[in-house]
């Protein structure tokens, strides 16, 4: 009996999933009523459920699915055409199946719900077609799971069942060979038969679902073990190098490689496509649209965009709310749309894409939009803002008032075209997982909600900085840019307003916060330093510069929670373990800003001024690292290629042939003189080289520049420069002609053999 319970549980899980898929499929089918592929998929699902219910002796379910299957088979064979009535009946059937499944789940029985009317409808609709006898048996087309290869071989008569059993026994007692090989070894069959069987097996597996269900707890414990493995790896690699034993070092290097790959795989195992949330929405849109008397076309872009399972769960409700709102209140009724000169059918577009290490989700409708004046009046009426504050807001800020708690209640739904219902809840739900939402709207043309969420809560990209000898991580989500003020310019560039240090950043005053002073770990000589490093940070609507002692690198870090002893210290968002095994604190940028704000005198909140392009929407192009090379040339390197920035003493550069190399951690880093390679003379060797460590073809390479100037966002209009190898083009960045570096090409110019495969390509897992 226990076995049967297990089978039923499995059947329930599988069926619920299948039904969710059916909802989407059926709605999609309405758009494309003749798609044999969709019809085939739907038919198979119902058939599978029917088959299993028959076996498990759930009579009602069987009768219902049987009627549905009959109708679907007609549709699939083209004997019937899909009408709204048919779709409606099929959707009702899915709901009825769900009901029955829930009853089974709760009580183990099907319950007493009567579906005879529905069955009659389904049967009647079937006969509306070519009049073939109802409910004739369909050949089973549902795919069974892939059978073991031994079974396939037996099926083909290439070996007997006894032979296979013998081979399996051999495996059980420790024979490491695959079953096919053992069979051939026994002389039971030929290699040709085995490979044929393997092909058949692979084919069946691709038809069946090539995945298994894994408990999330197990994934979590896998993650934990992975963390321990990484640390053991670090330890072994370091010690192996110290022994100088070549075999041990090779083994450690291999361990290193495999661990890194394994880590990636494990992390990816927790990722799921956004489609797992989206696939429930077509049904929501259809039903709600029908209820409101609206016709809405739902389009989705970026279904395959992946994010962490935990986050996926967390965005499900806010996203559904946004979609419901868009259909309910965003899109106008057909008459209003026609009157406004739009098509009768409204368009709801869902987009998902990765950008800046975040997942971006958009819900866009082409409805009536949100009127900022109405929002402003409502916010004023509710006492959420003052009239004076309103005068200082631009349209976008006004529309975003809908996220204020208490902005809207059910009573005000119609006044502000219904938007804002529960928007504060949506916002706080998203913020809980480190996400952000904003809304843009054009009256008469539509509304776009833009949600930005981290890829995963567990792993975030972060910038590692130095402060008073300690390393701290800053989430790059807060990072706007890096500024390095050098050689006396450092202190000169910093001005003071009644004691508060500020820096003029492109004509605007950037308040500065000294990290060491905020943390109370300042060394006395800080003021005198020549070089000042400013990390420009953005948190909510505050922008400020954090002065640090050094900027190390950007890397993906695993966020670890802090103990309860630190909950009264709000400036840390968690901790992480760095590559060398030491612990680094992660700074909570918003808390840091608040703390500095409270401590300072007259420090103003930095608010984006209307029309300030700098603080507007995230730019579309890739971020670029801008550096000066050869005194008066400015070059830009795609930031995604940059691994880290280094200062290397000129004396540590070693020469091998014509190449320049430098020891870099445990590796050897080839250097490429950017200045020299771009056709100009390299600068004379100072005492330190500024090196941009980039990835090129899977290797790290150091590009030598004069100084790092800035990091800018936004694509460059590439204009080719004839005759300049290693350049992608030129563009104007901060009023200067800037050359965009093609990293691969620049490296090849310096060392034509750089990308050639190494002599011993030892790779691959046994």
Partner 1 sequence: MSAAQLSTFSVADHQFGVEVTVVQEVIRHQPMTRVPLAPAALAGLINLRGQVITAVDLRRRLGFPDRAADELAMDVIVRTRDGLVSLLVDRIGDVVEVGEEAFEEPPESLQGTIRELIRGAYKLDHALLLSLDVQGAVDLPPAGGSGTSGAGPR
Q: Identify which of residues 508 and 595 has a Cβ nearer to partner 1 in the complex.
A: 595
Q: Identify which of residues 336 and 599 has a Cβ nearer to partner 1 in the complex.
A: 599
- For residues 641 and 628, give the distance between their C-alpha atoms in angstroms, rounded to a whole number: 17
The single residue among 167, 230, 375, 455 that binds partner 1, judged by CB under 8 A, is: 230
590 binds partner 1 (CB under 8 A): yes
The two beta strands, 542-548 and 508-514, are parallel
262 binds partner 1 (CB under 8 A): no
- For residues 451 and 319, give the distance between their C-alpha atoms in angstroms, rounded to a whole number: 9
Cβ–Cβ contacts within 10 Å for residue 507, how many?
A: 6
Q: Identify which of residues 568 and 655 has a Cβ nearer to partner 1 in the complex.
A: 568
Helix axis angle for 36-56 and 2-31, nearest 10°, is 160
Q: Which residues pair with 719 in a beta bridge?
A: 730
Strands (E), 356-424: 358-365
405 binds partner 1 (CB under 8 A): no
Dihedrals phi, psi of 351, to nearest 5 degrees? -125, 145
215 binds partner 1 (CB under 8 A): no
The single residue among 347, 443, 591, 653 that binds partner 1, judged by CB under 8 A, is: 591
Question: Least distance to partner 1 from the beta carbon of 428, Å?
Answer: 11
Q: Identify which of residues 468 and 653 has a Cβ nearer to partner 1 in the complex.
A: 468
Q: Identify which of residues 605 and 663 has a Cβ nearer to partner 1 in the complex.
A: 605
Question: Least distance to partner 1 from the beta carbon of 393, Å?
Answer: 24
Question: Least distance to partner 1 from the beta carbon of 571, Å?
Answer: 6
Dihedrals phi, psi of 38, to nearest 5 degrees? -65, -45
Question: Least distance to partner 1 from the beta carbon of 681, Å?
Answer: 45
For the segment 612-671, give every residue that binds partner 1 (CB under 8 A).
none
Q: Which residues pair with 350 in a beta bridge?
A: 300, 363
Stretch that binds partner 1, among 28-36, 491-499, 559-567, 629-637 (CB under 8 A): 559-567
Cβ–Cβ contacts within 10 Å for residue 765, how many?
A: 8
Structure tokens at 353: 């894409």
Structure tokens at 257: 């490689």
The single residue among 91, 473, 537, 584 that binds partner 1, judged by CB under 8 A, is: 584
575 binds partner 1 (CB under 8 A): yes
The single residue among 588, 677, 706, 739 that binds partner 1, judged by CB under 8 A, is: 588
Question: Least distance to partner 1 from the beta carbon of 431, Å?
Answer: 8
565 binds partner 1 (CB under 8 A): yes
523 binds partner 1 (CB under 8 A): no
Question: Least distance to partner 1 from the beta carbon of 399, Å?
Answer: 24
- Which of 409, 506, 426, 461 lies closest to 734 in space, CA to CA? 506
601 binds partner 1 (CB under 8 A): no
- For residues 569 and 461, give the distance between their C-alpha atoms in angstroms, rounded to a whole number: 23
Strand, helix or coil at 558?
A: strand
The two beta strands, 659-664 and 667-673, are antiparallel
524 binds partner 1 (CB under 8 A): no
Stretch that binds partner 1, among 177-185, 228-236, 294-302, 541-549 (CB under 8 A): 228-236
* Alpha carbon distance, N-terminus to C-terminus of the chain: 42
The single residue among 224, 254, 303, 719 that binds partner 1, judged by CB under 8 A, is: 224
Q: 335 near 293, Cβ under 8 Å?
A: no
- Please list, in sequence order, all residues whose beta carbon lies within 8 angstroms of the beta carbon of residue 726, skipping any fewer than 6 positions away: 677, 678, 741, 742, 745, 746, 748, 749
* Maximum CA extent, the chain: 94
Q: Identify which of residues 566 and 680 has a Cβ nearer to partner 1 in the complex.
A: 566
The single residue among 560, 617, 719, 736 that binds partner 1, judged by CB under 8 A, is: 560
303 binds partner 1 (CB under 8 A): no
Structure tokens at 187: 């002389």
Q: Identify which of residues 74 and 270 has a Cβ nearer to partner 1 in the complex.
A: 270
43 binds partner 1 (CB under 8 A): no
Q: Identify which of residues 57 and 228 has a Cβ nearer to partner 1 in the complex.
A: 228
Question: Least distance to partner 1 from the beta carbon of 317, Å?
Answer: 19
The residue with tokens 């979590």 is 220
Q: Identify which of residues 373 and 569 has a Cβ nearer to partner 1 in the complex.
A: 569
Question: Least distance to partner 1 from the beta carbon of 760, Å?
Answer: 32
Q: 341 near 368, Cβ under 8 Å?
A: no
- Please list, in sequence order, all residues whose beta carbon lies within 8 angstroms of the beta carbon of residue 34, skipping any fewer than 6 positions away: 78
238 binds partner 1 (CB under 8 A): no
92 binds partner 1 (CB under 8 A): no
Q: Identify which of residues 311 and 747 has a Cβ nearer to partner 1 in the complex.
A: 311
Please give the C-alpha separations between residue 373 and each of 398, 419, 440, 563, in angstroms, as whole numbers: 8, 14, 14, 47
Stretch that binds partner 1, among 25-33, 241-249, 480-488, 558-566 (CB under 8 A): 558-566
Instruction: Show the site string, 453-492: x = touches partner 1 by CB under 8 A, - = not.
Output: -----------------x----------------------
Q: H-helix or E-strand containing 388?
A: helix 387-391
519 binds partner 1 (CB under 8 A): yes
The residue with tokens 């869902």 is 350
- For residues 239 and 258, give the distance between their C-alpha atoms in angstroms, rounded to a whole number: 18
The single residue among 107, 391, 498, 564 that binds partner 1, judged by CB under 8 A, is: 564
- Please list, in sequence order, all residues whose beta carbon lies within 8 angstroms of the beta carbon of residue 623, skipping any fewer than 6 positions away: 356, 638, 639, 640, 711, 712, 713, 714
Binding residues with partner 1: total (CB under 8 A) = 35
231 binds partner 1 (CB under 8 A): yes
The single residue among 1, 112, 246, 598 that binds partner 1, judged by CB under 8 A, is: 598
- For residues 277 and 111, give the distance between their C-alpha atoms in angstroms, rounded to a whole number: 30
- Which of 475, 480, 591 lies closest to 537 in space, CA to CA? 480
Q: Identify which of residues 372 and 574 has a Cβ nearer to partner 1 in the complex.
A: 574
Half-sphere exposure of 345 (CA within 13 A, CB side): 10
Question: Least distance to partner 1 from the beta carbon of 235, Å?
Answer: 11
The single residue among 595, 597, 607, 683 that binds partner 1, judged by CB under 8 A, is: 595
Binding site for partner 1 (CB under 8 A): 224, 227-228, 230-231, 470, 519-521, 560-566, 568-572, 575-577, 581-585, 588, 590-591, 594-595, 598
């Amino acid at each position: 009996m226990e076995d049967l319970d297990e089978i039923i549980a499995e059947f329930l899980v599988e069926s619920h999933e299948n039904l969710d898929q059916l909802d989407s499929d059926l709605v999609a089918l309405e758009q494309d009523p003749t798609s044999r592929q969709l019809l085939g998929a739907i038919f198979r699902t119902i058939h599978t459920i029917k088959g299993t219910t028959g076996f498990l002796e759930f009579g009602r379910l069987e009768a219902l699915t049987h009627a549905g299957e009959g109708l679907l088979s007609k549709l699939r064979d083209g004997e019937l055409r899909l009408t709204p009535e048919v779709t409606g009946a099929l959707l009702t059937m899915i709901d009825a199946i769900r009901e029955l499944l829930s009853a089974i789940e709760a009580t183990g029985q099907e319950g007493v719900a009567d579906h005879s009317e529905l069955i009659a409808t389904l049967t009647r609709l079937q006969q509306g077609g070519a009049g073939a006898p109802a409910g004739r048996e369909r050949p089973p087309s549902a795919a069974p799971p892939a059978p073991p290869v031994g079974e396939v071989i037996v099926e083909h008569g290439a070996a007997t069942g006894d032979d296979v059993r013998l081979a399996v026994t051999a495996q059980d007692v420790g024979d490491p060979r695959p079953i096919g090989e053992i069979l051939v070894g026994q002389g039971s069959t030929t290699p040709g038969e085995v490979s044929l069987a393997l092909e058949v097996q692979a084919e069946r597996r691709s038809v069946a679902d090539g995945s298994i269900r894994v408990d999330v707890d197990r994934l979590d414990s896998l993650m934990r073990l992975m963390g321990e493995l990484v640390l053991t790896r670090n330890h072994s690699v370091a010690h192996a190098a110290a022994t100088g034993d070549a075999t041990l070092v090779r083994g450690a290097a291999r361990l290193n490689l495999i661990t890194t790959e394994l880590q990636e795989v494990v992390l990816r195992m927790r990722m799921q496509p956004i489609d797992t949330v989206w696939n429930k929405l077509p049904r929501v849109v259809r039903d709600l649209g029908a209820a409101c008397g609206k016709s809405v076309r739902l389009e989705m872009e970026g279904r395959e965009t992946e994010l962490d399972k935990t986050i996926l769960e967390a965005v499900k409700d806010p996203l559904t709310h946004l979609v419901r709102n868009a259909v309910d209140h965003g899109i106008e009724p057909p008459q209003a749309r026609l009157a406004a000169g739009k098509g009768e059918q409204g368009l709801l577009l869902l987009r998902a894409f990765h950008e800046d290490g975040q997942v971006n989700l958009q819900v866009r409708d082409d409805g009536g939009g949100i009127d900022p004046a109405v929002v402003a009046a409502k916010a004023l009426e509710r006492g959420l803002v003052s009239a004076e504050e309103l005068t200082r807001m631009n349209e976008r800020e006004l529309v975003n008032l809908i996220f204020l708690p208490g902005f809207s209640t059910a009573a005000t739904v119609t006044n502000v075209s219904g938007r804002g219902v529960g928007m504060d809840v949506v916002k706080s739900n998203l913020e809980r997982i480190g996400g952000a939402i904003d809304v843009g709207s054009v009256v008469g043309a539509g509304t776009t909600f833009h949600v930005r969420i981290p890829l995963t809560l567990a792993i975030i990209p972060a910038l590692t900085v130095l402060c008073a000898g300690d390393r701290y991580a800053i989430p790059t989500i807060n990072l706007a840019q890096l500024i390095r003020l050098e050689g006396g310019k450092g202190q000169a560039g910093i001005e003071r307003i009644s004691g508060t240090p500020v820096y003029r950043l492109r004509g605007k005053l950037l308040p500065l916060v000294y990290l060491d002073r905020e943390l109370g770990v300042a060394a006395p000589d800080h003021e005198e330093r020549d070089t000042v490093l400013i990390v420009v940070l953005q948190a909510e609507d505050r922008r400020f510069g954090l002065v640090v002692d050094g900027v190390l690198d950007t890397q993906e870090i695993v966020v670890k929670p802090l103990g309860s002893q630190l909950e009264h210290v709000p400036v840390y968002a968690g901790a992480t373990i760095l590559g060398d095994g030491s612990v680094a604190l992660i700074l909570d940028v918003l808390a840091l800003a608040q703390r500095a704000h409270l401590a300072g005198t007259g420090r103003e909140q930095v608010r984006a001024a209307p029309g300030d392009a700098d603080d507007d929407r995230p730019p579309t192009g890739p971020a670029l690292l801008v550096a000066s090379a050869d005194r008066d040339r400015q070059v830009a390197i795609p930031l995604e290629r940059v691994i880290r920035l280094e200062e290397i003493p000129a004396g540590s550069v070693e020469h091998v042939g014509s190449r320049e190399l430098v020891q870099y951690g445990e590796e050897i880093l080839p250097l490429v003189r950017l200045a020299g390679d771009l056709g100009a003379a390299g600068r004379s060797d100072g005492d330190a080289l500024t090196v941009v460590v980039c990835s090129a073809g899977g290797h790290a390479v150091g590009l030598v520049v004069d100084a790092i100037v800035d990091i800018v966002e936004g694509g460059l209009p590439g204009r080719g420069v004839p005759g300049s190898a290693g350049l992608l083009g030129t563009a104007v960045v901060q009023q200067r002609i800037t050359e965009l570096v093609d990293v691969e090409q620049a490296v090849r110019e310096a060392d034509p053999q750089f990308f050639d495969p190494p002599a011993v390509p030892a790779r691959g897992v046994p």
